Structure 1
Amino acid sequence: MLLTTEDQLVNEIASWLKKNFSTGILSAERVRRGLRNEKWIVKTNKGRFFVKSYHPGRFKMHDPEFRSKLENALQLQLLFYQSGGPCPEPLTLDGSCMHILPCGRYMTVMTCCPGAMVPAGMIGEHRMHSLGRAAADMHAVWESAATLGIGAAVPLGEPVWRLSREEMEHTWEVSWDAARDSSERVRNALQLQKTIVDSLGDDEFTPLTVGWAHLDLWADNLLFEGDALAAIVDFDRARYSFPALDLGRAILSGTLSERGFRKDAVVAFTEGYRRMRPLPPGSLLKAIKYVWCLESLWWIQPSFESSSVVPVRFAEEMIHTAERWEQLDALLGDI
């Protein structure tokens, strides 16, 4: 039977740390961000650590295949850390980054990184430049490891998040049917979405270059100190996919406000990325459009206005991008 109370979980985590790492917890501060998974910053006699307990109602932890994918994502994080990348170091036991408590809960423990989050849409030029360099370095590390056939970086199957016109059209029809009683704003957003979907050419559905990607590179998963990126966190979604999706997601999250894209910050990000890896002109625009095609169908839902802060932010990004769709080529196409 899975334990559910916070005190019980913290006690089991404390016993696990004591037994396996001779580490004693002095205090545990709950981090109340994200969906359902329990998280703490724990102060110990060996420093501060971040602990995440995977809630069975959030992830399919009963599924060995899913657990394997999650373990692989944490191993990719470890590879990036070992290369000198700005991210926490997962603690391993018998080679594994994911651990099981006596109660049956799975968890991961990693070092704490300094820095603070910056609100979405407000990441400045210097910080975006630093993020661009780190994203390029992360992609390069994983690409190199894949070429060498190193463990977690060996591609497994087909890339995830491939676009399909048929799936987009079907998903839109389902949302539209469910939005009969939704607000005018929701229905207008869905109508604009349909207009864009109908206008998409075959080029928009051409797969991007494949490789390992973080796939959750947004403001809440970035820590900054001063003008520099201090850490990328939360690698749980890292999968074999399209690395350019990280670029599109970072730009949408970091530079898009109600006034539109802050072009100077977009340029700074691409300049940082190009310091480490090639990025042909036009690639960023394609990445942004690809991300929109994927995510707009996730976030522009009939009930999004009553959702929590994070889904609303993502939905607003999709709507603001859609409202500027016709101007994207002129604004970002030459970057």
Structure 2
Amino acid sequence: MPLTTEEQLVDEIADWLDRHFAARMLSASRIRRGLMNEKWIVETNKGKLFVKSYHPERYKMHDPAFRGKIENALRLQLLLFQSGGACPEPLTLEGRCMHSLPCGRYMTAMTCSPGAMAPAGKISEPRLHALGRAAAHMHNAWDSAASLGLGAALPPEEPLWRLSREEMERSWEAGWHEARDSSERVRSAMHVQKSIIDSLGEEDFAPLNAGWTHLDLWADNLLFEGDALTAIVDFDRARYSFPLLDLGRAVLSGALDERGFRRDAAAAFAEGYRGARPLPPGSILQAVKYVWCIESFWWIRPSFESFSGVPARFADEMIGTAERWEQLGDLLGNV
């Protein structure tokens, strides 16, 4: 596919909006966050929109099956919006939320939610309470849609990211082999990772309840005004997995700072969630551990010392959690 300039993309998006929605573009402000995908806040005669163009080097957009997964994730977002959930409304055309441009690129457009992001690790207790309630609403809405047999919510046969001791051990061995010439800091972090893997009991591998899951519920995908959550955004990764993973990711992102876990903040999130959906005691501890068991292999690896920005934050979360592993029960066990 030939290279597409930003000017060409914006022109084609403007033409698409005008042709299909009679929305005349007045301006387009580029958002330079995230990896490779191009994003804009677009002012039109019908109000503000958020537009994303999927970069072919970020996603396998040439693969219809992969495109179908993102399309389904966007439809899940639409179901959540229709249920009254806190998220933008995707624009649909002939029942689809993902659209193609003449240049061959794929895009999505949606309403633009108000609000601003909060710094990772520093989300206040009232905001985490609001996020917990919104996450519970999201999971309830998707469960209800699945029970009604609605297309986007029909579950596949197997959920993503089921834990396996054997797979964890293989992943660690592969990483350790790559780290043979790495620094002492890298090797020390991987030693701690291996000790945690060895300490896991069978209860840590017990199956979780499966369901549709956002799978990217972290600070950059949350918008707030005052103490209120205005929107959860970026549903591209939503898949049939384990909703508890959303809870672990939210607590790691919102309540873990340089001093450790802010217990009252984690408790505020859990209280908000319990206001709309059952959550047995100990679930937050289980969620954080489960997320660590999956994500630590993404971020604790030989190259993590070269990370900056968002990857560095995720690596710090994994290392910080590992360093406090023995205290997690006291910190989060009764939350």
| Higher mean displacement: 175-184 or 192-201 | 175-184
- CA–CA separation in structure 2 for the residues paired with 1:255 and 1:8: 42
Task: Summarize the alignment of residues 287-302 of structure 1 with structure 2, pairs less than 5 Å apart.
Answer: 287-302=287-302
* Alignment pair present for 1:262 and 2:262: yes
Tell me the equivalent position of 1:158: 158
Contact 2:208 2:242 in 1 (8 A): yes
Code of the aligned partner of 1:293: C
Q: Following TM superposition, by how much is the alpha carbon of 1:284 offset from its aligned partner in structure 2, in angstroms? A: 1.2
Q: Displacement of 1:187 after TM fit?
A: 1.1
Whether 1:192 aligns to 2:200 is: no
1:39 is aligned to 39
CA distance in 2, matches of 1:127, 1:263: 14
Taking the aligned partners of 1:164 and 1:181, their CA distance within structure 2 comes to 28
Q: 2: distance between equivalents of 1:100 and 1:164?
A: 39
Counterpart amino acid of 2:271? Answer: E
Is this contact kept in 1: 2:4–2:103, CA < 8 A? no
CA contact (8 A) 2:163 2:294 kept: yes
Report the equivalent of 2:15: 15
Q: CA deviation at 1:157?
A: 2.4
Corresponding position of 1:78: 78
Within the alignment, does 1:65 sit opposite 2:65 as a pair?
yes
Secondary structure at 1:134 match in 2: helix
Query: Shift in Å at residue 2 of structure 1?
Result: 4.1
- C-alpha distance in structure 1 between counterparts of 2:165 and 2:104, whole Å: 41
Unaligned stretches of 5+ in structure 2?
none
Pairing of 1:82-121 with structure 2 (within 5 A): 82-121=82-121
- Counterpart for residue 285 of structure 1: 285
- 4+ residue segments displaced more than 4 Å: none
TM-score (norm 1): 0.99
Query: Aligned equivalents of 2:260 and 2:33: distance in 1?
Result: 27
Contact 1:175-1:301 within 8 A present in 2 as well? yes
- Structure 1's unaligned 5+ residue stretches are none
Q: 1:146 corresponds to which residue? A: 146
User: In the TM superposition, what are the counterparts of 1:147-296 in structure 2 within 5 Å?
Assistant: 147-296=147-296
Q: Which residue of 2 aligns with 1:133?
A: 133
- Percent identity, aligned pairs only, is 73
SS class of match (1:217): coil
Distance in 2 between residues matched to 1:4 and 1:76, nearest whole Å: 29
Paired with 2:186 and 2:120, the residues of 1 have a C-alpha distance of: 22
Separation of aligned partners in 2, 1:93 and 1:288: 39
CA contact (8 A) 1:2 1:104 kept: no
